[in-house]
Amino acid sequence: MLIEDNPGDARLVQEMLEEGISQFHMVWADHLQAGLELLGSEEIDLVLLDFGLPDSQGLDGFEKIHSRKPNVPVIAITGLDDEKVSAEGIRRGLQDCLIKGKVEGILLLRTINYAIERQRLQLELERFAKELKDSEVRLRNIIEQNVDGIIIVDQNGTTRFVNNAATLLFERKSDELLGQNFGFPITVGEKTELEINRKSGEPLTAEMYVNQITWEGESAYQASLRDITEHKRLAEAKDEFISTVSHELRTPLSIIKEAISLVLDGITGEINEQQKKILVTSKKNIDRLARLINDLLDMSKIKAGRLELRKTWVDVSSTINKVVSAFESTAKEKGLELITRCSGDGIDIYVDEDKIIQLLTILIDNSIKFTSKGSIEVYGKEKDEVVEFSVTDTGIGVHKEDLPNLFDNFTQFGRVDGPGEKGTGLGLSIAKSIVEIQKGKIWVESEVGRGTKFTITLPKLDYEEILKQYLSDAIKEAEKKESFFSVIRILVLNFKAMVRESNEKAKATMKEIIELIKNSLRNSDIVVSNAVSDDVGEIFILLPETKREGAILVLGRTEEKVRQYLSDQKKLERKINFNTGVFSFPEDTREEREILSKLRDTKNG
């Protein structure tokens, strides 16, 4: 559109525009008001504006057009060579200025083309900028509205950004937090607990998780803070509740049981059959209540992840025998046969023996309960990577549809026995947890009327793992008691050669040596060795509460005994040589890793 009051000039421009292969179509307005009307009604791509109109002078006309259609490029045609006005116009968004009388066809066309293209690019740029800003706003909103407090600190620990939740957490405004030295976060990628210093002084515990990020082009840290005060309070309340249950309920219960036993045994005077019957039932139910309390305590400990394992080197076959023998009288009463079958002379595994006893007790107890005739068979076998054991009965079995729920809490099936033998329904659930906490597996096979078989596999831990476990346990224990311990290492130098000659004999000899060492130690001392399973003859002796000089004495005594034993064994073809090392905690080192590496370093033949 051309806005030009002089019809002659207008015709001139029209001719220039419509000359040749020009792609433009021009509409003409002879004063500004008419131009503004056309601007509203027509599709205008560009305005050529005369700065000397009857109803408008200079930039005033441009402003009116620009405020109505900011996206339509405007080129001014000025009568004078007024640099000042045109510069100001371009600053305000005018695309170009042409001087009246100096306009030629080609120049005009080019100017118009450039103006349109420039306007298009400008719009695109603005659109991009807006999109970018929108997406930044969106991201900020996500961070801003996050329920976790988020703080971004730079490499110096200075706060560069805080979200709303963080200000609430600290009870401080964002400008009180920004630019402050929050501190350089030590742990990245793991959770750490912080006590927040709130303005009100009210305690608040937060869990902080730090990520390394880039912030405004620099390496920075993003710390997420989650309020865990309530969570901690609840956990503490729960712990307290559990210990209350254990102490407040168990103590009176055992007193009641004791009292009933006294009456029942006739110590307080004769009782008749009727009275006896009632007391027997009472006692049975007290036992059941005690079991229920113990089961609940176990369950809550497991659920809270507080079930602590005290792992030791255990011969599972002897554990099985121990548990089975405890059930002998019960089985006999019911006329059931109890069979134990264990492969080999011993199944050594690194587990918590008490937990294994509990596990087997639950399973055997269960089997006896649900079996009225036949047998219960307990089976133990060492496999390549696991130790497998099973409890098989010839009892009533479990319905197929009930099998998947068998290990759930409080599920009981096909209860047929009297009330006195009722369990809590927690047994199998506890059994499953015990197995899983030791990284094992438990499963059940059953057929109604034929019997049930529970199978458990427990992984055999790698020797190195066990050794590390023992060491870290010993360090923890010593630190707790502010105590000390020592480690002795005995390396059989020519063990490999011994194995090559006769694997059986080498292992048997080592086993005997280990037994010998064990017998000369205190009960609390621990012997770990891989001589029975590997081709390196290494024996570790862990001596709790023993200082270096004590350990050296023990070593001297042990060495003497072993040499004595070996010289008595005429059958050995090869002379066995040892290297020994002693290390003490915390005298020599506090670091777990150092103990092992230094011990092995000392005299590694």
Using CB under 8 A as the binding rule, whether residue 419 contacts another protein is answered as no
x/- binding map, residues 571-590, to another protein, per CB under 8 A?
A: -------------------x
Under rule CB under 8 A, residue 185 binds another protein: yes
Q: Which of 39, 48, 65, 206 binds another protein (CB under 8 A)?
A: 206
Shortest Cβ 550–another protein spacing (Å): 24
Nearest CA to 151 out of 163, 138, 133, 135 is that of 163
- Tokens at 539, concatenated: 């024996």
Min separation Cβ 147 and another protein, Å:
18
Of 33, 122, 146, 192, the residue at the interface with another protein (CB under 8 A) is: 192
Nearest to 389 by CA among 424, 431, 450, 425: 431
The residue (of 9 and 176) whose beta carbon lies closer to another protein is 176
Quickly tell me which residue has 């319905």 as its tokens. Answer: 399
Site membership for another protein, residue 201 (CB under 8 A) = yes
Q: Count other C-beta atoms under 10 Å from residue 456's C-beta.
A: 24
- In terms of phi and psi (left: phi > 0; alpha: psi -120 to 50; beta: otherwise), the region of 236 is alpha
51 near another protein, judged by CB under 8 A: no
Q: Which of 568, 602, 604 is nearest to 582 (CA)?
A: 602
CB closer to another protein out of 149 and 397: 149
* Cβ atoms 368, 327 nearer than 8 A: yes
Q: Which of 42, 124, 193, 447 binds another protein (CB under 8 A)?
A: 193
User: Closest approach of Cβ 515 to another protein, in Å?
Assistant: 40
Nearer to another protein, 232 or 522 (CB): 232
Position 211 contacts another protein (CB under 8 A): no
CA 56 to chain CA centroid, nearest Å: 74
Burial 212-233 (b: 16+ CB within 10 A, else e): eeeeeeeebbbbbbbbbeeeee
Q: Is 294 in the site for another protein (CB under 8 A)?
A: no
**Does the protein bind another protein through residue 410 (CB under 8 A)?**
no
Least distance from another protein to the Cβ atom of residue 356, Å: 32
Task: Judge whether 420 and 284 are in contact, CB under 8 Å.
Answer: yes
How far apart are CB 218 and another protein at their closest, in Å?
12
Q: Which residues pair with 578 in a beta bridge?
A: 492
Given a contact cutoff of 8 angstroms between Cβ atoms, the answer to whether 374 and 396 are in contact is no
8 Å CB contact between 331 and 376: yes
Chain center to CA of 106: 72
Instruction: Between 184 and 410, name the residue whose CB sits nearer to another protein.
Output: 184
Report the nearest approach of another protein to the CB of residue 583 (Å): 18
Nearer to another protein, 170 or 495 (CB): 170
User: Prior bond to 419 cis, omega within 30?
Assistant: no
In the complex, minimum distance from the CB of residue 287 to another protein, in angstroms, rounded to a whole number: 38
Kindly state the smallest distance separating residue 156's Cβ from another protein, in Å: 7
Contact pick of 135, 197, 261, 533 for another protein (by CB under 8 A) = 197
When binding is defined by CB under 8 A, the residue of 51, 62, 170, 407 that contacts another protein is 170
| Whole-number Å distance between alpha carbons of 157 and 166 | 16
Smallest distance from another protein to CB 190, Å: 8
Nearest distance in Å: CB 595, another protein: 17
Nearest-approach distance from CB 219 to another protein, in angstroms: 7
Alpha-carbon torsion (345, 348, 354, 356), positive or negative: negative
Please pick, from the candidates 57, 113, 145, 212, the single residue that binds another protein as defined by CB under 8 A: 212
What is the x/- site pattern for another protein, positions 217-256, by CB under 8 A?
--x-------------------------------------
Q: Report the residue from 180, 246, 282, 579 that binds another protein according to the rule CB under 8 A.
A: 180
Under the binding rule (CB under 8 A), the answer on residue 472 touching another protein is no
Among 186, 273, 523, 570, binds another protein (CB under 8 A): 186
Q: Which of 94, 89, 97, 84 is nearest to 122 (CA)?
A: 94
State the number of CA atoms in the 13 A half-sphere of 19 facing the CB: 13
Q: Which of 124, 134, 136, 195 binds another protein (CB under 8 A)?
A: 195
* DSSP secondary structure letters along 211-261: EEEEETTEEEEEEEEEE-HHHHHHHHHHHHHHHHIIIIIHHHHHHHHHHHH
**68 touches 36 (CB < 8 A):** yes
Name residue 417's amino acid. D
182 binding another protein? (CB under 8 A): yes
As measured in angstroms, the least distance from the Cβ of 191 to another protein is: 9
Per CB under 8 A, the list member of 75, 97, 210, 434 interacting with another protein is: 210
Contact characters 130-169, another protein, x per CB under 8 A: -------------------------xxx------------
- The CA-atom distances, in angstroms, between 174 and each of 144, 165, 169, 215 are 12, 10, 11, 18
* Strand 96-99 versus strand 74-78 pairing type: parallel
Considering only residues 40, 70, 79, 203, which one is a binding residue for another protein as defined by CB under 8 A? 203
Question: By CB under 8 A, which span of 75-83, 177-185, 244-252, 575-583 interacts with another protein?
Answer: 177-185
Opening angle at CA 506, ends 502 and 508, nearest 5:
120
Q: List interacting residues with another protein (CB under 8 A).
A: 155-157, 170, 172, 177, 180-188, 190, 192-197, 201, 203, 206, 208, 210, 212, 219, 590
